């Protein structure tokens, strides 16, 4: 049943923003059929529904992010999660934290084509931004993690990222006296488990939101918020350029996977979603990323191969990179230079206002 609901929500998102009334009616129908409040945790982005409530400020243009029913968000969890996010002791040799690759000063990513982890080792994929990752239905470029909580197990145990083990990390943190009162406040006992570590970090990540961009202010009625060039780009984005076939909804992602051809001409392509599903048709598919705050999150694409937004638009204009599995929505766009510049101006206008997050002054000792 849960699968069905999430598929339902994704299909809707893929068709672009629907009239809220239609969504509510459809939602009501589904909920009536299954009569389960547990299913509510599945709704994100355009549905503004979640398993437990979201008590913090939500920037203009977004709905409150979904919060899983088994991990209610509290000040104590967010504060603990923030310390852990910036704590290098979560890596095997105290050299790498989440911040190393997802730095708030760099759009919550690292400005490198592929990240550098423990012992200076390189991975094969570009670090996506943590901004608005709370709205992703699945995490990672290939969607192999079902939640923000589970995602955290990836980097901690990855030999080229933090090079540790979940048990090792929990033991290390459990041995730091200063953390005990924080776990007590967040979970009702000082016991440190990896389950609690990931719940706390995920809670912190759910507060890392970006919205209130010129585009959001324009949609909210401030007609001067977009330059004429950006407004023309917006018309292209939702029209002739067909971008919203995939970059749909308030976070500009349908949550689905597509092959647009990036890296497909390499000798050993990254097969993306196929590696998770083993379904032939999924070869070369990657998760549609958000388009918010792009000026902060360069370089672009799963392999970090594209440096500028102008190059991204050029890539789409030529019809992506031809390959056997290319998405049928990707085709030559025949945009002239002025139109391409308009699209870039629109993408720039999706740059939002983030709450500044400074690293903790001191970490628990
Ligand atoms: C060594 C660099 C590195 C470190 C350290 C690291 N990450 Fe990542 N992160 C990445 C890369 C690269 C990806 C994409 C990997 C993939 O898709 O296969 C990623 C993916 C993610 C995603 C998924 C976002 C999306 O849009 O799908 C989130 C969320 C995230 N990381 C949060 C964290 C947190 C929290 C930590 C600390 C526990 C962390 N990362 C540590 C490099 C890193
Ligand atoms: C068929 C679905 C689809 C369509 C249509 C589409 N995109 Fe994408 N877009 C994706 C996917 C999937 C990726 C990630 C691909 C990868 O990394 O291999 C992506 C990546 C991007 C990125 C890089 C973002 C980042 O953080 O790395 C930008 C920018 C972008 N698209 C803009 C656009 C624009 C502008 C249009 C319209 C001209 C468009 N897209 C049309 C699916 C689509």
144 and 20 in a single domain? The answer is no
Q: What's the half-sphere exposure (Cβ side, CA atoms, 13 Å) at 13?
A: 28
236 and 122 in a single domain? The answer is no
Q: Which candidate, 205, 189, 197, 151, places its Cα nearest to that of 171?
A: 197
Please give the pLDDT value at position 181: 98
Please give the residue that has the higher pLDDT: either 1 or 185.
185
37 and 126 in a single domain? The answer is no
- Stretch 254-274: mean pLDDT, rounded? 97
232 and 293 in a single domain? The answer is yes
93 and 192 in a single domain? The answer is yes
342 and 220 in a single domain? The answer is yes
Please give the pLDDT value at position 50: 56
Q: Of the residues 153, 186, 205, which one is the last residue of a structural domain?
A: 205
Rounded to 10 degrees, the C-alpha dihedral 43/46/48/50 comes to 10
Ranking 13-22, 231-240, 329-338 by mean pLDDT, the lowest is 13-22
Q: What's the half-sphere exposure (Cβ side, CA atoms, 13 Å) at 21?
A: 0
134 and 37 in a single domain? The answer is no
Q: Of the residues 160, 185, 205, which one is the last residue of a structural domain?
A: 205
Q: Of the residues 11, 36, 71, which one is the last residue of a structural domain?
A: 71
**How far is 274 from 214, CA to CA, in rounded Å?**
37
Do residues 293 and 129 lie in contact, with contact meaning Cβ atoms separated by under 8 Å? Answer: yes
- Considering 49, 161, 205, 296, which one is annotated as catalytic? 161
Please give the pLDDT value at position 28: 37
Please give the pLDDT value at position 3: 31
- Stretch 19-24: mean pLDDT, rounded? 37
Q: Residue of the nearest CA to atom 6 in ligand 1?
A: 98
Tell if the pTM clears 0.85, that is, is over it. yes
Q: Is position 363 within any domain?
A: no
Tell me: pLDDT of 298 over 90.
Answer: yes
Q: Is position 359 within any domain?
A: no
108 and 21 in a single domain? The answer is no
- Cα(99) to centroid of ligand 1, in Å? 10
For residue 350, what are the contacts with CB-CB under 8 A and spacing of at least 6? 213, 214, 215, 252, 291, 292, 293, 294
Q: Give the count of domains, the chain.
A: 3
Please give the pLDDT value at position 123: 93
Task: Confirm or reject: Cβ of 141 under 6 Å from ligand 1.
Answer: yes
240 and 337 in a single domain? The answer is yes
Taking all residues of the chain, what is their mean pLDDT, rounded to a whole number? 88
Please give the pLDDT value at position 293: 98
What is the CATH classification number for the domain harbouring 122? 1.10.760.10
Question: Which residues form the domain of 156?
Answer: 75-205
């Amino acid at each position: 049943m849960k699968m069905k609901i999430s598929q339902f929500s994704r299909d809707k998102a893929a068709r672009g923003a629907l009239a809220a009334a239609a969504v509510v009616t459809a939602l009501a129908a589904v909920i009536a059929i299954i009569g389960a409040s547990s299913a509510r945790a599945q709704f994100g982005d355009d549905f503004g529904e979640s398993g437990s409530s979201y008590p913090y400020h939500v920037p203009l243009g977004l709905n409150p992010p979904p919060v899983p029913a088994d991990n209610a968000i509290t000040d104590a969890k967010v504060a603990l999660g923030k310390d852990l996010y910036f704590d290098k002791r979560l890596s095997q040799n105290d050299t790498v934290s989440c911040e190393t690759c997802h730095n708030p000063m760099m759009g919550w990513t690292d400005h490198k084509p592929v990240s550098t982890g423990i012992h200076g080792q390189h991975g094969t994929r570009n670090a996506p931004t943590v901004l608005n990752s709370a709205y992703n239905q699945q995490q990672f470029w290939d969607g192999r993690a079902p939640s923000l909580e589970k995602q955290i197990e990836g980097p901690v145990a990855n030999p080229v990222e933090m090079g540790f083990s979940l048990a090792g990390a929990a033991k290390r943190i459990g041995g730091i006296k200063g953390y005990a009162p924080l776990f007590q406040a967040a979970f009702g006992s000082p016991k440190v488990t990896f389950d609690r570590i990931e719940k706390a970090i995920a809670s912190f990540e759910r507060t890392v939101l970006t919205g209130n961009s010129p585009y959001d202010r324009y949609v909210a009625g401030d007609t001067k918020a977009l330059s004429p060039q950006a407004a023309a780009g917006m018309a292209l984005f939702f029209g002739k350029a067909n971008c919203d076939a995939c970059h749909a909804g308030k976070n500009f992602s349908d949550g689905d996977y597509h092959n647009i051809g990036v890296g497909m001409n390499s000798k050993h392509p990254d097969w993306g979603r196929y590696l998770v599903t083993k379904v032939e048709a999924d070869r070369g598919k990657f998760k549609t990323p958000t388009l918010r705050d792009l000026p902060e999150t360069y370089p672009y694409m799963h392999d970090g191969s594209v440096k500028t937004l102008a190059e991204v638009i050029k890539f789409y204009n030529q019809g992506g990179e031809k390959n056997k599995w290319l998405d049928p929505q990707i085709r030559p766009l025949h945009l002239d230079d002025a139109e391409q510049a308009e699209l870039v101006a629109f993408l720039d206008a999706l740059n939002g206002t983030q709450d500044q997050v400074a690293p903790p002054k001191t970490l628990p000792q």
